[in-house]
Structure formats: structure tokens, C-alpha cells
Structure 1
Amino acid sequence: MEAVLDELYTTPPSDFVARRETLAAAARTAGRADDARRIRAARRPTLAAWAANLLLRSQPEESRQFLELGQALREAYQSLDAESLKDLSAQRRRVVSALSRQTAQLARDTGHRLSQPVQQDVEETLRAVLADPDAADQWAGGRLVNALTPPSEFRPDSAPVAEKAGTRSRPAPPSPSAPRRRASKDELAERRRARQEQLARAREAAEAAERRLSEERARQADVDAELQRARERTEQARRRMSAIEEQLQQAREESRQAETEQQEAEEHSRSAADAVAQAERAAHETTQQVRRMSRSAT
């Protein structure tokens, strides 16, 4: 049943309703009434949501790395300084842009071109996956119905809560009832080490995602180049076939003309043979007549 629903949500929206009815009818015929009702309850996704579902199912390894990148960014967000967060935000934008282009290509491969507004909805969905764990869980399920919206507090180039505009904020004053405690140097060092580890994990996840996207782009370029070469070979073969067909047509016309000339020549040959036979008969008769005349004269 889960596989059936997964397959349904990668069906293009234009074919979704018909496919849903087919699958529900098959479940009813098999005696699975509950499954049939569940299939019938499935809502048709928007084009952007379908494209996001298609990306998840078509590129599972890239999608896994993208989810890991989001988790690393969310872990690092509150503890990193503004400069480190700026670097990660730049990587995040590059990854989202590359994945969005790849999603558009996957959609085109199935015969569905994404308009600019739909493409923007796809990018918004990917940004939401990075920023919001609930959005990440929804996308990871592969059954989005609508595009996702990133939360407002996770904006590109925004500073973490502890630091803004490159300045360190003052710590919140302790409550009157809480004992006044100052963190020891060891605790500060441990926090600094934890922040650096979070930064390292986030950067590694971002770099891995970028490498994967670069590999996919290179592979796509190779496929496009091979497709272009195949198209050129097909066009060359068509031109050769056209030339051969023209030659064949010309040969057929020449053959028909030769057959006509042969028939005319055969008729001429028969007429000439008849004329020769007549001449031979006339000559023979003339010879016989001369002989008879010669005997009479003697």
C-alpha cells in the first residue's frame, strides 16, 4: 500500500486523478476496501509539490545528503558566529539553486516544463526543508500536496540569535531566584569546541551536497552530449537514406526507360527479321526463275 501511494504521488498532476481511480478500482477488485478508500482520499499535488516529490524519489542519495545538510545547518544556526553562518548560507543558496535546476530537468524529462512561478515554489520548498525540521519530515515522506514555505526566522544571511550584525549580544540577565554562576574557562572552551564541530559538520554536509550536484551536472552534460551526438548521427543517417532513396527512384526510372527501349528494340528486331526472311524468299524465287529461264534457252 505504501509503495502504491509513493507511486501515485510521483504521477504528474494531469494524470493523478485517472491513476488514482485505476489504483482504487484495483484495490476494490482485490477485496481491499480500506486500501481503496485510502487511495481515493489521496489529494492531487500541485505541480511544484509533484516536482519536489519526483526529486526525492528520483535522486535518493542527493535527497539524503540534502536532508543531512538541513539538519547540520539547523544544529549550527544558534551557535555559529555571523561570519561562519554567512559562509554556510552561501553554500545553502548554491545547493538550493542547483537542486531546483535539477528538479526542473527531471520534470522536463517527463514532458512537463515548470514555469517561473512553479520553479520559485520549488525553491521555497527546498529552503523550507533546510530551515524547518517539520518541513524536512514532510518532504522526506515523498507525498507533498502543496509547496512548502520556509519559516521567517531562517532567512539568508541572517545572524544567529546570540549575535547580530557582527556584534555579540549581552547574555540575558539571570532570574532573581537563579544562583549567579559564571561559566568556567573549561566550559567556555567546551562550548567553543562544540560550535566548531557543528560548523565542521555543516560545512562537510554542504560540500558533500555540492560535490554530488557537480557530479550530477557533469553526468547530465555527458548525457546531453551523447544525445546531441545521437541526434547528429540520426540526421546523417536520414540524409544518407534520402540520398539513397533518390538514387533508387532514379534507378527505377532508368530501369523503366531501359525496359521501354528494350521492347522497342525487340519490335525493331522482329521487323528486321521479317524483312530479311522476305528478302531471302524473294532472292530464292528469283534464283529459281533464272535457272528455269537458263534451261529453256538451251
Structure 2
Amino acid sequence: MDFEEAADAVYAAPAADFIATRNELAKRLKADGDPLAATRLKALRKPTVAAWIANLLARRLPDELDDLLALGDEFREATADLDGERLRELTPKRHQLLDKLAKEAARLAADEGQKISADVGQKLRETLDAALVDPAAGDAVREGRLSSALRHVGFGVVDENGEPSNVTPLTDERRKAARDRRKAQQAEEQAKGSAAEQKQREAEQEEAEEREREAAKAEARQAFEDAVAAAQEAEARVEDLDTQLDNAREALAEAQALVHRVGAELDEARREAREAQKESREARKRYNRL
């Protein structure tokens, strides 16, 4: 088992078993000779109720979730084209699909013995809507490893009917004219540039994209190393506190034993003092009778 398989297994476990499952699989990875993967696994956060239900939905109903993500693609295309009419058509579908998935998620959660409060239901719906709106959020939800619910404002600036604010809907004629203009501009740009220049631009673009990828990898690697270091530091802190707690318990036990022993000695001393006082009184009486 590698880290990816272990992470999937952890987030697929029942919510109540998350910690136990994570720790057990981390021990297995460490025993298999992969301590780095074990540390990464132990750093995974327990999902909130809303996130756990979203993960459950991603595993049990992947096709329905894919329908939601596909609808998001349609929304982005319509928004980019400033197509108010298309946005008005898609908006009811958006609400209907969110309602359907929310009900299915509630049913799946109930089958697992998990009730959904109004607050959890709202966070789940916001998470699904974020998946529809944002491709990155959609990928995260589809992966099924959320630890927290997601939220997004929406597709740009739209009014209650889903139409872009201050935008006039395009007629078929205007839309065709706009597309024709774009095609003409592209043809003109291609005619101006030579094949060598085009190839150079493509090479420069590829180099720029490669630099961006390398920078992103380096950033991700640094973030990963920082997270691992933080997890190791937290682990050391836990062990230190465990040791302090054990020492404190031992000191408390010794103190309690001392209190018990001193208390017993005090009781004995008081008894001896009373007997001595009694003998003193008796001796005084005998003396007075002489």
C-alpha cells in the first residue's frame, strides 16, 4: 500500500473511525519502510461532517457529480460569451441539480447513521455549488478527500435571473458577427507572422509554461516539506507532553503517599500528647494529696 491508497482508505472510513484508521495505516506504511508517507498520512485532517458527506457522495455517486461539473463547464462558456439567454436557461438546472444531489447526500448519510443538521446541509450545498463554479474546487470534491466544506461567491456578477449585470444579451445575428470578426482577426494575425516567428512564439510559450510548472512544483515541494516538518514537530511536542504528564502523575502519587504518612504520624503524635497530658494530671493529683 502506498500513500495515495492509504489516503483514499482513510477518507473512505466512517467518520468516527477516521483517527484510528489513519493511525493504523500510518503504522503500516512506516513498518513497510516508508516513514515519509506515514508522516504525511498522520498530517491528514479529520473531515468536518459536511466534508465527510461530500466525500461520501463523490465515492457513491460519481456519475451524478460529474453531471454537476459538466454543468459548470456550460456556465463558464455562457459567461465568457456574455450569453444572457443561455445563463437564464442554465440557472434553473443548476438549482435542480444541487437540490437532487443534496437529497441524495442526505439519504447516503442517513444510511451510514449520520444525521444532517440545517447548518451542515447549507455547507454541503455551498460545497457542491463551489464544485460547479470553480474547476479546482470541482477536482477537489471529485477526489473525495475534503477535510472542510467549500464556498464560492458565484459566476462573476449576475442578477437574480442569472444574467450578467449591465450586459445586453447577444442576438444570434450579433453572436455570429462577433465570431466572424474573431476568425478574421485570427486569420490576419496568422498572415502577418511567418512560420519561423510562430514557431519561436510557441517555443517561448512552452518555456514559460515549463518555468511556471517548475516554480509550482518547487512551491508545492516546499509546502509539503513545511507540512511534514510541522507534523514532526507536533509529534515531538505530544511525546514531550506525555512524558511531563507521566512525571506529574508520579509526583502526585508520591505527594499523596507523603500526606497519608504525615497524617498518620500526626494522629499518633496527638494520641501520645493526650496520654501524656492525662498522666501529668494524674501525677499532679497524687502530688497534691501528699
Q: Match of 1:9, SS?
A: helix
What residue is the counterpart of 2:243 in the other structure? none
Task: Tell me which amino acid in the other structure corresponds to 1:65.
Answer: D
Contact 1:78 1:161 in 2 (8 A): no
What residue is the counterpart of 2:161 in the other structure? 157
Once the two structures are superposed, residues 138-178 of structure 1 have per-residue CA deviations (whole angstroms, 9 ceiling, x without a partner) of 21222111111022436663322562xxx459xxxxxxxxx
Contact 2:51 2:124 in 1 (8 A): yes
- Percent identity of equivalent pairs: 38
Larger deviation, residues 32-41 vs 130-139: 130-139
Report the count of equivalent residues: 176
Distance of 2:128 and 2:39 partners within structure 1:
31
Once the two structures are superposed, residues 119-153 of structure 1 have per-residue CA deviations (whole angstroms, 9 ceiling, x without a partner) of 11110011111112221122122211111102243
Computing the radius of gyration from Cα coordinates, the structure with the larger value is: 1
Change (3 A) 1:38 1:82: same
Task: Tell me which amino acid in the other structure corresponds to 2:108.
Answer: L
What residue is the counterpart of 1:55 in the other structure? 57
Distance of 2:107 and 2:80 partners within structure 1:
35
What residue is the counterpart of 2:94 in the other structure? 92
Contact 2:29 2:35 in 1 (8 A): yes
Query: In the TM superposition, what is the alpha-carbon distance from 1:8 to its structure 2 partner?
Result: 1.1
Once the two structures are superposed, residues 220-270 of structure 1 have per-residue CA deviations (whole angstroms, 9 ceiling, x without a partner) of xxxxxxxxxxxxxxxxxxxxxxxxxxxxxxxxxxxxxxxxxxxxxxxxxxx
* 1:2 pairs with 2:4: yes
Which protein has greater RCO, CA pairs closer than 8 Å, 6+ apart? 1
What residue is the counterpart of 1:122 in the other structure? 124
What residue is the counterpart of 2:134 in the other structure? 132
Query: In the TM superposition, what is the alpha-carbon distance from 1:28 to its structure 2 partner?
Result: 1.7
TM-score with structure 2 length normalisation? Answer: 0.55
Distance of 1:65 and 1:40 partners within structure 2:
33
Of residues 167, 178, 183, the one that matches 1:188 is 178
Change (3 A) 1:154 1:50: farther
Of residues 11, 22, 25, the one that matches 2:13 is 11
Once the two structures are superposed, residues 26-68 of structure 1 have per-residue CA deviations (whole angstroms, 9 ceiling, x without a partner) of 1122222112111101111111011111111111222222211
Change (3 A) 1:80 1:40: same
What residue is the counterpart of 1:145 in the other structure? 147
TM-score with structure 1 length normalisation? Answer: 0.53
Change (3 A) 1:162 1:188: farther
Distance of 2:85 and 2:34 partners within structure 1:
57
Once the two structures are superposed, residues 87-113 of structure 1 have per-residue CA deviations (whole angstroms, 9 ceiling, x without a partner) of 210110000010011011111111111
Q: Match of 1:111, SS?
A: coil
What residue is the counterpart of 2:44 in the other structure? 42
Task: Tell me which amino acid in the other structure corresponds to 1:188.
Answer: A
Query: In the TM superposition, what is the alpha-carbon distance from 1:83 to its structure 2 partner?
Result: 3.5
Contact 2:157 2:164 in 1 (8 A): no
Larger deviation, residues 17-26 vs 91-100: 17-26
Task: Tell me which amino acid in the other structure corresponds to 2:149.
Answer: A
Contact 2:78 2:84 in 1 (8 A): no
What residue is the counterpart of 1:21 in the other structure? 23
* Larger relative helix fraction: 2
Change (3 A) 1:140 1:185: closer
Larger deviation, residues 129-138 vs 41-50: 129-138
Change (3 A) 1:7 1:185: closer
Q: Match of 2:81, SS?
A: coil
Distance of 1:189 and 1:75 partners within structure 2:
14
Distance of 1:149 and 1:42 partners within structure 2:
21
CA RMSD of aligned residues (A): 2.8
Which structure 2 segments of 5+ residues have no match? 183-290
Q: How does 1:1-298 map to 2 (within 5 A)?
A: 1-152=3-154, 153=156, 157-160=161-164, 163=167, 167=168, 187-188=177-178, 190=180
Contact 1:28 1:36 in 2 (8 A): yes
Which structure 1 segments of 5+ residues have no match? 170-183, 193-298
Change (3 A) 1:158 1:69: closer
